[in-house]
């Protein structure tokens, strides 16, 4: 059984092609600049796992080596349909081909950000599911439209291939009502569906199950705080293997400071700026999503690597360049604000859980920035969270590692996320009739003998 996974953003399409029988990724890649011109695909065929040394990330463009084959091709994609057509052509033709015919594709798994209250687990896609997704566009206006576009394009191009939708929100449907109901007129929840839904569910699911395995315990026996920190970021409190609280809410805007999103702010700010500035409500919403967070504070950078590169440890607001976009002071301030917010969520979830067996960092920033991890956890020794600074600084990229000090009551794991593994296993289970919602489904990656893929 060979599964194609698709993750459609507004101007990008990430994909992978997995052979479930052989347990290996045949290809993966990304199409960028969809709808905006200058589109291109970067396509990678990994080397067989028994030939690739640990830590290898890929060969040079167009060069076949032990690490595999990576190719790049320019191809205009005015819509997601052309982008998916390009992926299918790349999988079957040219140097990057891994199958001879599209008939070898057993199913397509789509990442969908928001399922609302009606779609609480992975489902086979039909017209009714697509209609339900359209009805919920207002809950995720930046994410669901491209997700739907990908689903519709794949159904048109592969009409005889089963399509599956896997929802970011599904893992969080175990939250108790007191965690997901907002203190607003209750009719707004009943009539409009205004409640906390949560996102990054497949990532929180994967790393929480891996953390339980690393602890040598069953998911039902552990309490965890998982921190998915990338351009988007969210925290999750996991008790007994299920989500009981999470930082994102009705939309992915609430919660932690993110690359371009504000996270938690006083709701009155939106009203105040429309009163004091010539901005329409939609413009304010766009600014909160696309021009706030780390980018808003630095005025220039959203990528934490850029921010860290421009920090001076002793920078203060008295510096001459403090008000300049990208100044050392503003970069330092941005990360201090972000890490302080992270620290507060860790403390809040520690209180909610009562006992925390492990804290998990994942996603691009969480996995690869020892500085962010150190800044976030410094001063939490009173909660039994003690980081070994040397282990943290030297943590190898792409590997599961415990960076807690020996004396730490709580383990601190860095676990590379593998959301696609969730997509694949949910899809295989739906096809063979063994699927159950996340709180009742046993995944291969939670078993003691599971080996994470290096590709």
Q: So which residues are the catalytic ones?
A: 168
CB atoms within 10 A of CB 268: 8
- Helical packing angle, 127-135 and 144-157, nearest 10°: 160
Core vs surface per residue 131-151: b (16+ CB within 10 A) or e: ebbeebeebbebbbbbbbbbb
Nearest alpha-carbon partner for 72 in 109, 52, 43: 43
> Is residue 355 within 8 Å of residue 331, measured between CB atoms?
no
- Report the distance separating Cα 386 and Cα 370, nearest Å: 14
DSSP string of 378-407, one letter each residue: TT-GGGT--B-HHHHHTPPTTS-EE-B-TT
Question: Can you say whether the dihedral through the CA atoms of 134, 138, 143, 145 is positive or negative?
Answer: positive
Residue whose tokens read 């990908």: 150
- Report the distance separating Cα 193 and Cα 119, nearest Å: 13
Phi first, then psi: what are they for 361, rounded to 5°?
-105, 135
**Which residues lie closer than 8 Å to 442 by C-beta, 6 or more apart?**
none
């Amino acid at each position: 059984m060979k599964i194609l996974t698709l993750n459609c953003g507004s101007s990008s399409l990430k994909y992978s092609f997995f052979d479930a029988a052989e347990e290996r990724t045949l290809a993966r890649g990304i199409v960028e600049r969809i709808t905006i011109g200058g589109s291109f695909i970067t396509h990678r065929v990994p080397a067989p796992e028994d030939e690739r040394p640990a830590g290898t990330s890929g060969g040079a463009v167009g060069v076949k080596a032990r690490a595999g084959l990576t190719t790049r091709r320019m191809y205009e994609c005015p819509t997601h349909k052309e982008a998916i057509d390009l992926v299918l052509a790349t999988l079957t033709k040219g140097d990057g081909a891994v199958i001879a015919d599209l008939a070898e594709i057993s199913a397509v798994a789509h990442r969908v950000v928001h399922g609302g209250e009606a779609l609480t687990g992975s489902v086979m896609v039909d017209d009714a599911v697509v209609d339900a997704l359209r009805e919920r566009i207002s809950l995720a206006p930046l994410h669901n439209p491209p997700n739907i576009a990908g689903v519709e394009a794949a159904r048109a191009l592969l009409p005889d291939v089963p399509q599956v939708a896997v929802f970011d929100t599904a893992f969080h449907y175990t939250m108790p009502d007191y965690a997901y109901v907002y203190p607003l007129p209750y009719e707004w929840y009943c009539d409009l569906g205004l409640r906390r839904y949560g996102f990054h569910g497949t990532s929180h699911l994967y790393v929480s199950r891996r953390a339980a395995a690393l602890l040598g315990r069953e998911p039902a026996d552990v309490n965890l705080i998982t921190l998915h920190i990338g351009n988007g970021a969210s925290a999750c409190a996991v008790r007994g293997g299920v989500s009981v609280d999470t930082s994102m809410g009705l939309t992915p805007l609430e919660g932690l400071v993110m690359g371009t999103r504000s996270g938690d702010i006083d709701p009155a700010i939106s009203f105040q700026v429309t009163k004091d500035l010539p901005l329409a409500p939609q413009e304010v919403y766009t600014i909160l999503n696309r021009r706030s967070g780390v980018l808003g504070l630095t005025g220039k950078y959203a990528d934490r690597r850029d921010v860290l590169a421009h920090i001076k440890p002793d920078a203060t607001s008295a510096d001459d360049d403090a008000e300049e976009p990208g100044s050392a002071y503003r970069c330092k301030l941005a990360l201090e604000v972000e890490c302080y917010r992270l620290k507060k969520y860790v403390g809040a979830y520690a209180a909610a859980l009562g006992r925390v067996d492990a804290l998990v960092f994942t996603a691009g920033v969480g996995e690869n920035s020892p500085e962010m991890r150190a800044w976030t956890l410094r001063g939490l020794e009173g909660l039994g969270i003690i980081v070994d600074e040397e282990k943290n600084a030297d943590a190898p990229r792409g590997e599961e590692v415990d960076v807690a000090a020996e004396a730490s009551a709580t383990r601190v794991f860095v676990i590379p996320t593998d959301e696609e593994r969730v997509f694949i296993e949910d899809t295989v289970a739906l096809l063979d009739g063994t699927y159950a919602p996340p709180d009742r489904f046993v995944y291969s990656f939670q078993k003691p003998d599971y080996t994470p893929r290096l590709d």
